[in-house]
């Protein structure tokens, strides 16, 4: 079944409200649940577009939800800002194409009844509910206008999605994209999470925690073919009563144990914000560790500074990091499943030494019993003729990141019974 088929099946979740009594009954049968998220990062030197911030501009950002609902709430973040950021106008609507919206879908978003919100350094802001019928697997457009200067923005480096920035002016309410044709960006800015008022039959969220293989690097742009997107399709098509949303907390270049100027703080440092604070999370899939071993091997010369500190770590070091993540997730009464590290032979992060470490970590994931279950991503995408390498038909071209078919194979390797 293709994505349109999944969407058609999932639309059966919608509730049609025809009066006050029905609305009250329907509301009682619904819940606020995260349907989309992205990990916040400090603006670094890569890439160069808009990392100095915004002033008297509108940022229009496209996001792909998992489950649908009858209303939305936005969470904005200034987690890494050095100054208070104010958004004077905020809107959310349904994308038509590019930066344009489906006519009549754009909704003003308020905060405590006010049209704007100021967010101090390190803080976040949760909006009031905005009435908007959101279909599963739909693209929304979130428009943020700031009159003042933001300074260095809190961002998510790699959106794998074209987003839009206007020239001077407030165009958040516009449904056309005429004001956005001169600027675009590959990142998300200040946008942390989107919740929907979902049917009570949706059984919480699965959160994908990891690096670029979770973030979707190597998949086609604007196609929403990351492995968490394919997983969302599978869950939406599942038996009634087993539907779950999917949240993506992957960060390109991220590591379990060390920070990076370009690729975010280590997993332990972002766990509270990116996992434990997310609404409705019932299960976590952890797929991370490749960069911990690969950074010291030989990064691309043009972004070598992004790979500092290139700390050499052992398999035992990464396993110790896993154990802390498992303990903290379990303390929050959330299940956590370990995913084996994909084969990367002949990539720039591979060496005989890193291969020994990868295999040691994978053996521990599969045999220790410390995770609540195991997902064998490595077997799903390995070349059967050389299991240390990514299968050519799943390779995006760098022997490290899967293509769309590879990400689909990873999603298909997830046993959905783990979440029941």
Give mean pLDDT, residues 9-18: 36
Q: Do 212 and 331 lie in a common domain?
A: yes
- pLDDT at res. 2: 54
| Contact present, 344 and 390 (Cβ < 8 Å) | yes
Domain membership of residue 144 (yes or no) is: yes
Pairing type for strands 154-156 and 41-42 reads antiparallel
Domain membership of residue 16 (yes or no) is: no
Domain count, the chain: 2
- Dist CA 94 CA 100 (whole Å): 9
Q: Do 92 and 206 lie in a common domain?
A: no
Domain end point (choices 193, 218, 243): 193
Mind listing the pLDDT tens digit for each residue in 268-314? 999 999 999 998 999 999 999 999 999 999 788 778 888 889 999 99
Pairing type for strands 89-97 and 139-146 reads antiparallel
- pLDDT at res. 45: 80
Domain membership of residue 26 (yes or no) is: no
Q: Which domain holds residue 182?
A: 31-193
Domain membership of residue 180 (yes or no) is: yes
Domain end point (choices 174, 193, 212): 193
| Contact present, 212 and 348 (Cβ < 8 Å) | no
Mind listing the pLDDT tens digit for each residue in 114-141? 999 999 999 999 999 999 999 999 999 9
Q: Do 210 and 319 lie in a common domain?
A: yes
- pLDDT at res. 10: 42
Compute φ and ψ for 263, nearest 5 degrees: -115, 20
Output the DSSP codes for 354-409. Answer: HHHHHHHHHHHHHHS--SS-EE-HHHHHEETTEEEEE-GGGB-SSSSSB-HHHHHH
Q: What is the pTM of this model?
A: 0.92
Cα Dmax for the chain: 67
Q: Do 298 and 179 lie in a common domain?
A: no
Give how far Cα 274 sits from Cα of 134, 184, 353, Å. Answer: 23, 26, 31
- Residue 27: which pLDDT band, with cuts at 50, 70 and 90? low
Mind listing the pLDDT tens digit for each residue in 69-105? 999 999 999 999 999 999 999 999 999 999 999 999 9
Mind listing the pLDDT tens digit for each residue in 392-406? 999 999 999 999 999
What CATH number is given to the structural domain containing 353? Answer: 3.40.50.1110
Domain membership of residue 4 (yes or no) is: no
- pLDDT at res. 21: 42
Domain membership of residue 350 (yes or no) is: yes
Q: Do 232 and 336 lie in a common domain?
A: yes
pLDDT > 80? residue 239: no
Q: Do 125 and 210 lie in a common domain?
A: no
Q: Do 61 and 162 lie in a common domain?
A: yes
Q: Do 256 and 392 lie in a common domain?
A: yes
Domain end point (choices 193, 224, 243): 193
- Dist CA 292 CA 87 (whole Å): 37
Mind listing the pLDDT tens digit for each residue in 45-72? 877 788 889 999 999 999 999 999 999 9
- Dist CA 186 CA 173 (whole Å): 22
- pLDDT at res. 29: 78
Enumerate the H helices of 297-350 as residue ranges: 315-331
Strands (E), 65-126: 69-77, 85-87, 89-97, 100-101, 107-108, 117-119, 124-126
CA atoms in the 13 A half-sphere facing the CB of 318 = 29
Give me the percent of the chain exceeding a pLDDT of 70. Answer: 93
Q: Do 265 and 123 lie in a common domain?
A: no
- Dist CA 420 CA 414 (whole Å): 13
Take residue 241 and report the two structure tokens written for it: 């009563």
Domain membership of residue 101 (yes or no) is: yes
| CA angle 187–192–196, rounded 5-degree value | 120
Give mean pLDDT, residues 155-177: 96
Take residue 6 and report the two structure tokens written for it: 């999944």
Give mean pLDDT, residues 142-160: 97
Domain membership of residue 45 (yes or no) is: yes
Q: Do 150 and 270 lie in a common domain?
A: no
- pLDDT at res. 204: 95
Take residue 184 and report the two structure tokens written for it: 């675009």
Pairing type for strands 30-37 and 85-87 reads unpaired
Q: What is the average pLDDT value for the chain, to the nearest integer? A: 92
Q: Do 86 and 125 lie in a common domain?
A: yes
Place of tokens 């006050």: 20
- pLDDT at res. 8: 43
């Amino acid at each position: 079944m293709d994505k349109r088929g999944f969407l058609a099946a999932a639309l059966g979740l919608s509730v049609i409200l025809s009066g006050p009594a029905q609305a009250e009954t329907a509301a009682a049968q619904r819940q606020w649940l995260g349907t989309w998220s992205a990990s916040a990062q400090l603006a670094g030197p890569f890439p160069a577009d808009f990392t100095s911030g915004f002033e008297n501009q509108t940022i229009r950002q496209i996001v792909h939800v998992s489950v649908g609902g009858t209303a939305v709430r936005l969470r904005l973040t200034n987690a890494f800002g050095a100054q208070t950021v104010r958004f004077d106008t905020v809107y959310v609507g349904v994308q038509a194409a590019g930066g344009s919206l489906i006519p009549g879908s754009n909704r003003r978003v308020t905060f405590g009844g006010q049209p704007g919100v100021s967010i101090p350094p390190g803080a976040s802001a949760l909006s009031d509910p905005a009435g908007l019928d959101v279909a599963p697997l739909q693209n929304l457009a979130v428009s943020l206008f700031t009159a003042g200067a933001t300074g260095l923005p809190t961002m998510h480096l790699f959106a794998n999605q074209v987003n839009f920035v206007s020239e001077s002016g407030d165009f958040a309410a516009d449904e056309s994209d005429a004001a956005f044709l001169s600027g675009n960006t590959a990142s998300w800015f200040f946008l942390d999470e989107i919740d929907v008022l979902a049917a009570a039959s949706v059984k919480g969220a699965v959160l994908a925690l990891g690096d670029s293989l979770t973030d979707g690097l190597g998949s086609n742009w604007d196609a929403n073919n990351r492995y968490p997107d394919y997983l969302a399709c599978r869950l939406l098509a599942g038996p009634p009563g087993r539907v779950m949303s999917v949240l993506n907390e992957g960060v390109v270049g991220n590591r379990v144990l060390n920070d990076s100027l370009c690729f975010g703080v280590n997993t332990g440092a972002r766990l509270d914000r990116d996992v434990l604070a997310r609404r409705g999370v019932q299960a976590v899939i952890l797929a991370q560790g490749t960069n911990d071993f690969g950074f010291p091997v030989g990064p691309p010369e043009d972004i070598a500074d992004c790979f500092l500190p290139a700390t050499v770590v052992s398999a035992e070091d990464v396993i110790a990091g896993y154990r802390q993540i498992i303990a903290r997730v379990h303390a929050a009464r959330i299940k956590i499943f370990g995913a084996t590290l994909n084969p990367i032979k002949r990539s720039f992060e591979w060496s005989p030494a890193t291969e020994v470490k990868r295999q040691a970590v994978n053996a521990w994931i599969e045999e220790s019993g410390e995770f609540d279950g195991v997902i064998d991503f490595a077997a799903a995408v390995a070349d059967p003729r050389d299991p240390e390498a990514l299968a050519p038909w799943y390779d995006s071209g760098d022997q490290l990141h899967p293509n769309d078919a590879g990400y689909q194979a990873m999603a298909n390797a997830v046993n959905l019974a783990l979440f029941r």
